[in-house]
Amino acid sequence: MTITLTQVETLLLKRAHGRMTDAGMNGTLVPNNPDLVDPIVFALLCIDIVPANPTALTDTDVSGVADTDLSKLLDLAEMRLLENIVGNLALVDITVGPRKEALNQLVDQAEKAIARLSSRIASMYGFGVGSLDSGVISLDFMTKGDDVLPGEELI
């Protein structure tokens, strides 16, 4: 199954449309949605696919995604999209008399979503998890025949 750029954008919009519009980002499906280019490029690079032009994606760029890597691509792109949303949200809490608007909660919710998604990405795909290598360290502390111990002379 070959996926198209429009399909990737559609799936990302389904995941984050509300947050995107709250952050003043383009939450509509348009060809090459400028607010979705960076997250998709980030995800492609994470799965070792280098787009021909990282500022103008095409169907050819995403067609190289293996079926087994599709969920990885979408999860990584969603995480980057949420990070971009947090960067665009400049809302603060407002208190005027008895009325209070807690607008900063949008940032808190997005950051919690990023933490959950990061944890899932690490456990499902191994991103951010160190690898274990084995080996031998030789420190060469052994005394040899020609070594001189303190207080002795070399004959």
Global pTM reads 0.75
For residue 145, what pLDDT is reported? 64
Domain range for 64 is 5-125
Give the CA angle between residues 34, 39, 44 to the nearest 5°.
Answer: 120
pLDDT per residue over 73-105, tens digit each?
Answer: 999 999 999 999 988 887 666 667 777 766 677
- What domain count does the chain have? 1
Residue at 121 is within a domain: yes
Q: Return the structure tokens found at 26.
A: 């383009």
Residue at 26 is within a domain: yes
Residue at 48 is within a domain: yes
Residue at 133 is within a domain: no
Residue of 95, 20, 55, 30 whose CA lies nearest to 9: 30
pLDDT per residue over 12-60, tens digit each?
Answer: 999 999 989 888 888 888 878 999 999 999 999 999 999 999 988 999 9
Longest dimension (CA), the chain: 95
Residue at 145 is within a domain: no
Sign of CA dihedral 3, 61, 122, 74: negative
Residue at 46 is within a domain: yes
Residue of 107, 142, 90 whose CA lies nearest to 19: 107
Residue at 112 is within a domain: yes
Residue at 135 is within a domain: no
For residue 40, what pLDDT is reported? 95
